[in-house]
Amino acid sequence: MTTQNATQFFDLHTSGIGYINRVRLVEPKKGEPFWACSIAALRGDTNNVEYTYFDVRVSGTEAARLIARCQQAVDAGSKMLISFKIGDIYPDVFTYSSGDRKGETGVSLKGRLLLIRWIKKDGEMIYQMPKADDANGAPADAAGSPGANAA
């Protein structure tokens, strides 16, 4: 009788809408380069919006392609609003090294950007994920090239 030792884990996903900023390609000394960005997620009353900031590593293949295509627009000052799914968020404590808050302790929320459902550039829809095959939000044709018109 054979038993399989399947890896088990718990998923923690956060979904929302927010503006992307600081799009960058991180090239570590060891390991493969990866895309990263910050997201100013909207929350609260639509008449008095508040923001929660996330610093994310882009993990999803399609999300990485889309973020890379948005870099130029973000750098040019366009407002890039996305519907997103972030996984495995955690707090990262740090000490400010410069500025008005030098020496003070700060907290950054980190995570992995897994999925982008849609992108709006300056209010205009430029990408929309294809209809989902399942309830998890996976694209119906992950091998296809949805969003060829993104950014």
Domain boundaries, the chain: 13-128
Residue by residue, DSSP assigns 74-112 as HHTT--EEEEEEEEEEEEEEEE--SSTTTT-EEEEEEEE
Q: Which two tokens stand for residue 59?
A: 């993990």
* CATH 3.40.50.300 assigned to 13-128: no
- pTM equals 0.79
Which parts of the chain sit beneath pLDDT 50?
134-135, 138-151
Give me the pLDDT at residue 151, please. 46
Q: Which residue has the tokens 């799009």?
A: 23
What is the bridge-based pairing of β-strands 105-121 and 50-58? parallel
Read off the pLDDT of residues 39-54 as tens digits, 9 standing for 90 and up: 999 999 999 999 999 9
Give me the pLDDT at residue 5, please. 73
In angstroms, the CA 99 to CA 77 distance is 23
